[in-house]
Amino acid sequence: MKQRFLIVLAALTAAMSAIAQPLTVSPDVSKLKLSSANALVFDAETGQPLYAKAADEVTPIASLTKLMTAMVTLDANLPMDELIDVEMEDFDFLKGSKSRLRMGATLPRREMLRLALMASENRAASSLARHHPGGTQSFVAEMNKKAMVLGMMHTRFADPTGLTAQNVSTANDLAKMVSAAAKYPVISEFSTTGSHSVEIQGTGQVLGFNNTNMLVKSPKWDIQLSKTGYIREAGKCLVMMATISSRPFVIILLDSLGKYTRVGDAQRVKQWLETGDSAGAVEPREPGMIRVNRTGKVVTKGKVRIKGTLHPHYAATAKPMKFAGNTSNTRN
């Protein structure tokens, strides 16, 4: 009996050891076709990059900014039950984005943070910064200080919402931000909440919100952190930390053209990591990408994204992996 126990224990130890081993080779980068202009995929356990496309190019990051907003908010250790409100200062006069949080809307800081992360609520993010000790200006200074601490040397923040194109970063820098943000349990929870309702204090009004990333509700995905972003200058953006084939990966997708392209790219990354090939991954189709006149002739086609190139380092060093079997507005 003892000998049998030792054999089983040895087998389990060997299995666990095998699981913990870092990847020794990368999937074939030529098999991953992405439409996002800037992209990065790396193993979150080892920090090993598997794919990079214009990953050092500085570009606006839109509401991906709110991950830094969340970290600075939590680092301040302010009472999460404290009621904070929406004032005129929180309104978007730059892009004219809409919000369901009206003037005077009051919520606990916790709920403002949740809405900023899951629903990309600009007024919620602005309120968090405005109620920070020293106000918004001090808050933005803390955002830039945090970026420097994380080694995000090509990143600059000018506001807490991402509505301004002056908030810029690179895919490589954003991977550091995602990795850091994923260590905050509150950020992981709030950014992956599928839907949530809040009661506006003093009015009894109940508002329902949905996550701007449709993938968090998919049973085919195991997502630990998520954030979307969009302004015209940044294009559609998506960053995630997700477990794929029992390993955590950070996925950075920037400047995607088309409402569903970033989601399609995420699907291609997942299939590539699981099978070694992204062909056949399902991408939601955006209606109206092709127009046909009365004679049946195609008169307009959607644009083709050609910006961004595969980083030569990754193209030159990556080796084929052996496999054993097998929504658009300025708030998101």
Instruction: Report the catalytic residues.
Output: 63, 66, 120
**H/E stretch holding 50:** strand 49-53
- CA distance to 39, 41, 85, 188, 242, per residue, from 44 (Å): 15, 9, 37, 15, 9
Selection from 60, 58, 40, 36 nearest residue 48 by Cα: 40
* CA–CA separation, 108 and 198 (whole Å): 10
Selection from 229, 227, 90, 68 nearest residue 144 by Cα: 68
User: What residues contact residue 40 under an 8 Å CB cut-off, 6+ apart?
Assistant: 49, 51, 52, 53, 55, 171, 172, 174, 175, 250, 251, 252
Structure tokens belonging to residue 102 = 């009206």
Give counts: helices (H), strands (E), the chain.
9, 13
How many residues does this entry show for the chain?
332
* CA–CA separation, 299 and 304 (whole Å): 15
Selection from 161, 171, 175, 166 nearest residue 99 by Cα: 161
In sequence order, the β-bridge partners of residue 24 are none
